[in-house]
Amino acid sequence: MKMRQSMITVQSEKFFYDSSSFIADVGGFLGLLLGLSVMDIAEILIDVAQKVVGVPTKTDPFP
């Protein structure tokens, strides 16, 4: 009498992205979609902060 051997297949899943890669990809996609870069966003934040604080902005030399 022969005994059959049982074989068990074990499958595991692994995340393709780690959190920093995912955030970078989402940021890149949003930048592409909105047409903004990190420098543009920083410039907008600086302009808003200057208006809130009351720092005079550059005036146009040719009004």
Q: What is the pLDDT of residue 45?
A: 92
pTM to 2 decimal places: 0.41
Domain count, the chain: 1
- Give the pLDDT confidence of 13-60 residue by residue, as tens digits: 877 778 888 888 888 888 888 887 778 888 999 989 988 988 776 665
The answer to whether 37 and 31 have CB atoms below 8 angstroms apart is: yes
Q: What is the pLDDT of residue 50?
A: 87
Whether 39 is covered by a domain: the verdict is yes
Whether 31 is covered by a domain: the verdict is yes
11-28 per-residue burial string, b: 16 or more CB within 10 A, e: under 16: eeeeeeeeeeeeeeeeee
The answer to whether 22 and 29 have CB atoms below 8 angstroms apart is: no
Checking if the pLDDT of 61 tops 70, the result is no
Residue-range definition of the domain harbouring residue 45: 20-53
Q: What is the pLDDT of residue 39?
A: 83
